[in-house]
Amino acid sequence: MYSDPKDCLYCTNNDTLHNLMIEILPLKVSRAFLFKEQTYKGRCLVAYNGHVNDLNELTPEQRALFIEDVAAVTRAMQKLFNPEKINYGAYSDKLSHLHFHLAPKYVDGPDYGGTFRMNPGEVYLTDAEYAAMVDALRKELEAYMA
């Protein structure tokens, strides 16, 4: 199923998007976000700038830049939050806009050894805590963008 860009939360930059996540900064070909729901401490998302459905729709150059953006975010997450592993999720069953969920997993943490839940609705932070995480991630990612 292909969604219409005018109905896409990433393309329209709508309230639904901002209720779910906080934009960290634009990257080379994508945008980085911090999920507000933080069951998986440091969980982020990287959304491609254009409205495409899948990696296979990108040119090799676009695909390489997108994967570089994803890797930059995971490097920042690894440095700042030190998870045991970062799980990647590229679902798009109902919203066909290329994006990767990046869910840090911790030994003895939620769902370690299994699949992360999309939106468990269990852990929300204060505005100050979100701001501190976004600032730290932004600082790491600005070095990548320089």
Put simply, whether the predicted model's pTM sits higher than 0.75 gets the answer yes
Q: Does domain 5-145 have CATH number 3.40.50.2300?
A: no
What is the dihedral sign for C-alpha 142, 74, 68, 127? negative
Q: What is the pLDDT of residue 1?
A: 60
Cα separation, 91 vs 6, in Å, equals 20
80-116: per-residue pLDDT in tens? 999 999 999 998 777 789 999 999 999 999 999 999 9
